[in-house]
Amino acid sequence: MITLKDVTLRRGTKVVLDAASVTLQPGENVGLVGRNGAGKSSLFAMLTNRLQSDGGEVYMPPRWRVGEVAQNMPETDDGATDFVLEGDTRLVEAQAQLAAAEAGDDGHAIADGHQALADAGAFDARPRAQALLMGLGFKNEQLDAPVNSFSGGWRMRLQLARALMCPADLLLLDEPTNHLDLDALVWLEAWLKRFEGTMLVISHDREFLDAITHVTVHLEDAKLTRYGGNYTAFEEMRAERMVLQQASFEKQKEKMAHLQKFIDRFKAKASKAKQAQSRVKALDRMEKLAPILTSREFSFEFREPLNLPNPMLSLKDVECGYHALEEGGPDKIIVRNINRSVLAGQRIGILGANGQGKSTVVKTIARAQAALGGTITEGKGLAIGYFAQQEMDVLRPGDSPLNHMIRLAREVSPQAREQELRNFLGQFRFAADMVNQPVGTLSGGEKARLVLAMLVWQRPNLLLLDEPTNHLDLDTREALSMALNEFEGSLMLVSHDRALLREVCDEFWLVADGGVRPFDGDLDDYQKYLLDTARAQAKALREAGNASKKAAAPAPASAPVAPAPKPSTAATAPAKREDRKADAQARQLKSDELKPLRKELNRIDNRLGALFGDRDALEAGFATGSMSPAQLAESGKKLKAITEEIGLLEGQWLDLSTQVDELTAKAG
């Protein structure tokens, strides 16, 4: 159990916690939410003793192992797998114990050291580490590559894998999804659902929090408030609380009317396409959460575009990639033969694994890099607003936000007075001296807000957004979602934030296998596509392994066999009857083999149905927030047991289904 009682924590002159109290039960999966700068990371630092509280009591079991994603970028030539293995602190301790015993030539201690290694799972540690790496998107040939050979985003994945490798009693995850694509994100969710310890997660990805947490702790005004339920349940409970506390009802009604107008406008459009059905649900959710949405301090909107060319742009046989580093060398083409058009009003989500070329396509359309081939035809009056994945691609670290706006006002519109630009920046939370602060000293969220401010000022009719939510808190993500839904122009969005993709995109393009094609479906269909692709790859690997084993097996030595004489016509008919009889017997054997497999599949299906019902009932109980601590702990244990059994049964179901498919194919 983790207990904070009347805790006060200061960072410099800022009070992060002021007589705050909260209790977390063993085995609970907790989402820690609050605005950027509220002090969530400082709370993590206090739990790991990097910071000491200024008052109150902090209790955590002294023998608990803590797993945490280190924020510093590693500089080492160690291989990726070896680097991740070092995160298994129990294994490292056992290895040190054995080394000390061998150095002292103590036979009894050596035996204890070997037992400690066995208890730490030393014999399968390397495969476990490599499974983590491959789940997070690393390829087979990268498993032993030096850590220094990876870019910053991939090094953060290495740090995440290293944290997951730790046999932790308490796992602290601070924005673990920032550098992941959807493929790795889906895998991470499944892994964390099987985690047996206590978990505390800071994330601005609402769907991620909903999937893996059943308790939410809200840090606001230096206080901690516990809610029983995931993030969606927290929002709804908080909305009810705020309705009771709302002082200015007429002001709230005015803002809710604006929100309702927004919902009514887009419900009709959303019913026209399959891809937009989830968007209707998202808008219904916004309607329920109107008190929260209207209470937020930060909101903005894109100004109406001056014109809407149609089509916005057309791509014909376009090739995207990078020019050769050496003169005369070959260009590196990543995506080729793109033949697509972007029409006025289209809202396109761009899907695909990391490394497939999503950002490269967006950069090419944004004119940030030239196409290597083909033709891009732009509509008359096209005005592009580009949000780069790395904000510093469009920002100057030495200049202030005000410098950026003054320069932008000169370039894209009549020069504005400095006070007008200061007022405009104030809408994006750049107040007082912040407008003169060098951009290089701003936080990631502040840089992202500055880029958004610059986009709004440009009055674009085509928005190209590449991972715009990486450093945005949940409030700012909500504001961005609402602004994009009201935007009149066209939108192309690359994001791992599924909530944002669902709420603002009506169709999807898939960047894969060196090309771009429409994806016929929604995000649920895409996750199913990822699962089917993974199954196909696993089956291909198994078949390749079996083929290699057969090829490696030595042929039995035997004497040369003379060719069999051709059967006479008189013998052909009995032979055919015998063949048919043999075929029938083979089919019967296959049928006999399939019966128990299908029976077991039916049993697993029935059991899974019951487990899903039990899980839904428990999660509904969490959402009420009426459970006592003892009931929460007991329900948490039951939920973990059910989740583990579901994971085990789904794995068995997949194996059995593969066997049935293979036997059916052979029988056919």
- 433-480 tens-digit pLDDT: 888 888 888 877 788 888 888 888 888 999 999 888 877 777 788 888
Nearest to 471 by CA among 493, 451, 443, 494: 443
Residue linked to tokens 């030096």 = 146
Average pLDDT of every residue of the chain? 78
Name the residue type at position 522.
Answer: D
Quick one: average pLDDT of 363-386?
89
HSE-up (13 A, CA, CB side) for residue 468: 28
Query: Taking the C-alpha atoms of 142, 212, 44 and 90 in order, what is their torsion angle to the nearest 10 degrees?
Result: -50
CA distance 388 to 527: 25
- Asked if 52 and 46 touch (Cβ cutoff 8 Å), the reply is yes
Q: pLDDT (tens digit, 9 = 90+) per residue, 300-359?
A: 888 888 888 888 899 999 989 887 766 666 788 888 899 988 888 889 999 987 778 888
In DSSP terms, which residues pair with 348 in a beta bridge?
492, 507
CA distance 515 to 529: 17
Q: Is the pLDDT score of 191 beyond 50?
A: yes
Confidence of residue 543 (pLDDT cuts 50, 70, 90): low
Give 191's contacts (C-beta < 8 A, 6+ positions apart): 132, 135, 164
What is the structure's pLDDT at 568?
43
What is the structure's pLDDT at 584?
53
Name the residue type at position 53.
Answer: S
Name the residue type at position 141.
Answer: E
- Asked if 379 and 309 touch (Cβ cutoff 8 Å), the reply is yes
Helix (H, G, I), strand (E, B) or coil at 18: strand
Tell me the pTM.
Answer: 0.60
DSSP H helical ranges for 213-315: 231-245, 249-270, 277-288, 290-295
HSE-up (13 A, CA, CB side) for residue 418: 5
**What is the chain's length?**
668
Nearest to 177 by CA among 611, 546, 469, 516: 469
Q: pLDDT (tens digit, 9 = 90+) per residue, 342-363?
A: 888 889 999 987 778 888 899 9
What is the structure's pLDDT at 666?
56
Of 334-343, 353-362, 392-401, 510-519, where does mean pLDDT reach its minimum? 392-401
Helix (H, G, I), strand (E, B) or coil at 555: coil
Neighbours of 37 (CB within 10 A): 14
DSSP classification of residue 146 = B
DSSP H helix total and E strand total for the chain: 21, 18
Element (H, E) at 155: helix 152-165
Residue linked to tokens 């509280």 = 53
Q: Is the pLDDT score of 220 beyond 60?
A: yes
In DSSP terms, which residues pair with 462 in a beta bridge?
384, 490
Which is more confidently placed, 122 or 360? Answer: 360
HSE-up (13 A, CA, CB side) for residue 201: 33
Name the residue type at position 260.
Answer: Q
CA distance 360 to 516: 12
CA distance 279 to 274: 10
Helix (H, G, I), strand (E, B) or coil at 174: strand
- Asked if 180 and 188 touch (Cβ cutoff 8 Å), the reply is yes
Helix (H, G, I), strand (E, B) or coil at 73: coil
Residue linked to tokens 């495969």 = 127
Quick one: average pLDDT of 522-548?
69
